[in-house]
Amino acid sequence: MSSGVILCTTPKMIEETIPAHMIDKGFGTSTSIFINLAFFGVLLVSGGMPDEPKDLTESKYWMVIFGVQIPF
């Protein structure tokens, strides 16, 4: 749900805050590129999730998922 909100609100925020003559200098495309790179990063991190429900309860992989965000 939050990804959908980001995809819908970011272009509108850019339109309202960035002057029109600067949008052609990379503000529009760079936002889309970084959002797609973030989705790709989430896909890579989710590849390590355990498949079995028992492993999900015993694993500490949720710490990795929450910890990946800290540097950003």
* pLDDT greater at residue 6 or residue 51: 51
CB count, 10 Å around CB of 45? 15
Could you report the per-residue pLDDT of 17-43, keeping only the tens digit for each? 877 777 777 666 777 788 788 888 888
How many domains is the chain partitioned into structurally? 1
Residue 63 lies in a domain: yes
Residue 51 lies in a domain: yes
pLDDT for the residue numbered 6: 72
Residue 26 lies in a domain: yes
CA distance 60 to 49: 10
Domain assignment of residue 52, given as a range: 2-67
Q: Which residues, other chains included, contact 23 with Cβ-Cβ below 8 Å and sequence gap of 6+?
A: 14, 15
Residue 72 lies in a domain: no
Residue 39's identity, in one-letter code, is F
> pLDDT category, 16, cuts 50, 70, 90?
confident
What are the strands, taking DSSP E only, across the chain?
Answer: none
Half-sphere exposure of 30 (CA within 13 A, CB side): 7
pLDDT for the residue numbered 41: 84
- DSSP SS3 for 19: coil
